[in-house]
Amino acid sequence: MLSLVYGSDNQLRVLLDPMVWLSVVFLFLYLLSKTYSWEHGNALLNSVFMFLGLPFVLILGFLCLDEFPKTHQLVGIALILTSAVFSYFAVGKHFKSSKGVY
């Protein structure tokens, strides 16, 4: 596999792959939208939605790449999502009790 990418005849072939360019475009759009949302949006919702990327990555990996995470990976993902949900409700409760002032 490395000989295809790093071989003397195929060094630039990876740059001509449409999937690489599609990934670059989506990464650029993601970074633009993330920057805009952190500047103009609610920081609490932004942090929760940032953690919601994990289930979507699992679904896309299963559908597109036929991959399924192992047990220890699922446990880690569950811990991360549980902490995100807990922090959302804990900070939201604190935010409501202080009438929007930290």
- Provide mean pLDDT across the span 47-70: 80
pLDDT score recorded for residue 76 = 86
Express each pLDDT in 66-96 by its tens digit. 888 889 888 988 888 888 788 778 776 666 6
Cα 91 to Cα 16: distance, rounded to the nearest angstrom: 46
Structure confidence at residue 28 as a pLDDT band (50, 70, 90):
very high
Annotate the chain with three-state secondary structure. Answer: CHHHHHCCCCCCHHHHCHHHHHHHHHHHHHHHHHHHHHHHCCHHHHHHHHHCHHHHHHHHHHHHHCCCCCHHHHHHHHHHHHHHHHHHHHHHHHHHHCCCCC
Backbone angles phi, psi at 52, to 5 degrees: -75, -5
Judge contact between 44 and 50, C-beta under 8 A. no
The answer to whether the predicted template modeling score (pTM) of the entire model surpasses 0.85 is no
